[in-house]
Structures are given as C-alpha cells and as structure tokens.
Amino acid sequence: MSDTPKRATQAVWAGEERSLIQHATQVPVVKSVAFSYDDLDHWRDVALGDAPGHIYGRNTNPTVDVFEEKVRILEGAEAATSFATGMAAISNVLLTFLRPGLRVVSIKDSYGGTSKIFLEDLPAFGVDVTLCDTLDVDALEREIDRGLDLLYLESPTNPTVKIVDIERLAGKARERGAITVVDNTFATPINQHPLELGADLVLHSATKFLGGHADALGGVLAGRADLVERVFARREIHGATLHPEAAYLLLRGMKTLALRVERQNASALALAQWLQTHPAVANVHYPGLPSHPNHDVAVRQMPGGFGAMFSFELHGGFDAVREVLPRLRFAHCAANLGAVETTVAPPRTGSHVELTTEQRAALGIPEGLIRYSTGIEDVADLMADLEQALASLTTA
Ligand SMILES: *Cc1c(COP(=O)(O)O)cnc(C)c1O
C-alpha cells in the first residue's frame, strides 16, 4: 500500500498540516501587505530567497501559499502559483510563453475569455494563433506536426462538453518540443489529472468547482517547477494577485471538493440519462453517456467521473428555453458554474451572448441549448424540478 493519501484526504489536509499561528487548526487570513525583518541581513536573505519569508503582498502571502500548496498536491505537481481570477491565470500563462513569431495551437471551443485572447490580443502581438475544430483530432495533429511552441487545451469544453484527447495531443506536442497547458476547470482534480496525461501545466478558474460556493474569484496554475516559476515572475510584476480573503474562502471550499464532486458526478449522470428519454429534449451532451462522440476517451482520461456539467437541447428552440428556465425552483439562472447550487444558462444570454444566431450555429450551439451545472441538491428534487418545468412544453 502506498502512503500517499487519496485526493479526498488531500483536499482536507494538504498544505494545512503545519498550523500557521498559535496552533490554530484553521488557516489564518493574513492581511498584512508588507512583512518586516530583524535586520537588513535578514531582509536581504529573504529578498534573495536564501531564507524563508515574505516581502510584499503582490508577490507572496502566507494564506495564499497554503491555497497554492493544496492545489499543487491535488494536481500532483512540482509547483503551483495563484491569480486573482481564472482569466488572470490564463492571460499570464499565454503572455509568459508567447512572443512575436511564436505559435500556439488550440481548439475553437475554449472558454469565451480565452477565445478573445486568441482572436484579439495574441494576433495583435504578432503571435501565430491556429484554432482547430475541437473534435477534429487529425487537424490538431497536423497543426502540431507543422511545429508550435504551445498547445492549449480544455476538456470538457463549454457548453457542449466536448472531450479532447489530452494524452494523445500532449504526447505529440512534446515530440515537437512544445509545452502543453490544460484548463481543467470543468473536470476538477478529482475527475481528471492532466499532468499524468502528459501536460506540462494545468490551470483552473478556482472561482468554480475548487471554491465551490460562488463567493470568491480566483485562478491557479500547477505543473513543472521551471515553467510555474517563469509565470510567477511575470504575475508578481503584472499584479493579478489572489487576495488572502479569497484564498481563505477557496481553501475552505476545497475541503469538501471530493464530496461535492462525487455527488455532482452521480447526479449529473442520472439527470443526463433521464433527460435523454424526455419527449421535450432533442439532445443531451454529457461525456458519461455512451452516445457522446468521445465517450471512450472520457472513460480513459476521466477516472474520477464525468463531472457536473452537461447541456441539453429543447425541441422548441429559444422560446422553449425562455419558458422553462424561470420555472426551475432549484436552479439559479446565472453565469457561473461549479457551485453547490445548481445553475442553468442558455449560451444565447450567457457564454456566447455576443455572437449572432448564425455564429452560434457555426460553433454547433443551437438556440434551444441549456447548460446545466449540477449542484449538490438531492437528485430526486432536481429531477422533479426539471420534470415540472418541462411539463408545460409537452402538454402545450
Ligand atoms: C470561468 C472559467 C474561466 C475564467 O475564470 P474566471 O475565474 O471567471 O476568470 C476559465 N476557464 C473556464 C473553463 C471557466 O469555466
């Protein structure tokens, strides 16, 4: 038997085994912006990294350190660093490794903010950006074979929960000398371990499942120490630092990460299976369903479960969505996801609000689609709630 604790244990204990002050059992929120020294030799030693300690809150903070350490251990990484938001993690990573003339390959279905960086910011800086159809693995391999500096993946994707074969593509990118970065937000470290699949860096919007309570923004990056170190060196200058209060809330939320995700995995699978049989529903997208186009890849690369996120399409298009969503009692109509409460969002008013109907259709996002982030409520209540909300559609 290995002595390495399981992830449910790590979620509770990792990073917290050494209490920070006065034998407190909970991590204190250290709000001090600056830290002082016994004498100038001590200050110099801390500043040069020859002695442990902190200098200034934009660089490091004791509460934030614990959050980073917990994620580092959960992701099985050499190092981790944190950010004010998930988008700060993503933008700092891309700005650290990409320069004019360098090349990034990614998928068309990445998170909306990430897409904007690929389509607007990076081309303006002279970075060569190639976005492939998410499910076209041959095109992705061809573009990787042409040579690249960074491969950026996300799986499952938003909102149609497509699955990208991380191991296959990261292996190919490595042969070309490129680094692979994976946004693991939808999967969580409970369900999917990108570093074990060959990725060099994994990142999260901690705002979502890691925190789990929709009350704190944050981002985090984990992976190879030399690479994390380079991103940290930019972040401490660029200044998108995680606030210690947010770090505390994220840490507190993470203690129940495994419990929450196990419940959400089971409930999402049950709801997706049931919705498939519902007469008002045209289509259900969930990697746990055998009908999902990449179910076999999902089975291989998501050993913990298929996650809380699924989407389904109503026969009645957007008019049906408009009618059904306000009827749900146990679901917020809200832009976030990954919380203890169920949240629902139509791409038309949520993640893809700025696109036209035609542009959404080109991305394979029909007007009748609903993104469902399964919470931790009792699944029987969630099912009954969906049933009553959908009933009007089939009787009308
Ligand atoms: C929300 C989200 C982000 C951005 O995170 P913020 O914390 O909102 O900045 C990035 N990737 C995915 C997959 C997300 O769901």
- The string of pLDDT tens digits covering residues 140-186 is 999 999 999 999 999 999 999 999 999 999 999 999 999 999 999 99
Mutate which of 92, 158, 205 for ligand 1 pocket (most atoms within 8 A of beta carbon): 205
* 159 contact partners, CB below 8 Å, separation of at least 6: 309, 311, 345, 347, 350, 351, 352, 365, 369, 371
d(CA 164, CA 156): 7
Smallest Cα–Cα separation from 132: which of 158, 151, 112, 160? 151
CA 50 – ligand 1 centroid, Å = 35
Written as six digits, the tokens of 47 are 């500043």
Place of tokens 């369903």: 289
- Residues 384 and 334: beta-carbon distance below 8 Å: no
**pLDDT value at residue 2:** 60
Cα of 395 from ligand 1 centre, angstroms? 38
Q: Percent of the chain beyond pLDDT 70?
A: 98
- 32 versus 392: the higher-pLDDT residue is 32
Per-residue confidence band for 347, with pLDDT thresholds at 50, 70 and 90: confident
Ligand 1 centre from 87 Cα, in Å? Answer: 6
Could you tell me the pTM of the whole model? 0.96
Q: Best of 82, 87, 93 to mutate for ligand 1, by most ligand atoms within 8 A of CB?
A: 87
Catalytically active residues, by annotation = 58, 111, 183, 208
Rounded CA gap, 179 and 5, in Å? 29
CB crowding 140-156: b at 16 or more within 10 Å, else e:
bbebbeeebbbbbbbbb
**Mean pLDDT value across residues 215-243:** 97
Distance between Cα 307 and ligand 1 center (Å) = 16
% of the chain beyond a pLDDT of 90: 89
Q: Which residues make beta-bridge pairs with 105?
A: 130, 151
pLDDT above 60 for 1:
no
**CA-to-CA distance for 257 and 213, rounded, in angstroms?**
11
Pocket residues for ligand 1 (CB within 6 Å)? 85-87, 111, 113, 154, 158, 183, 185-186, 205, 207-208, 217, 219
Whether the bond between 156 and the residue before it is cis, its omega within 30 degrees of 0, is: yes
Closest CA relative to residue 322, chosen from 274, 361, 370, 374:
370
Task: Tell me which of 83, 111, 153, 162 to substitute to probe ligand 1's pocket, judged by most ligand atoms within 8 Å of the beta carbon.
Answer: 111
- Name all domains of the chain by residue range, CATH numbers in brackets: 7-254 (3.40.640.10), 257-395 (3.90.1150.10)
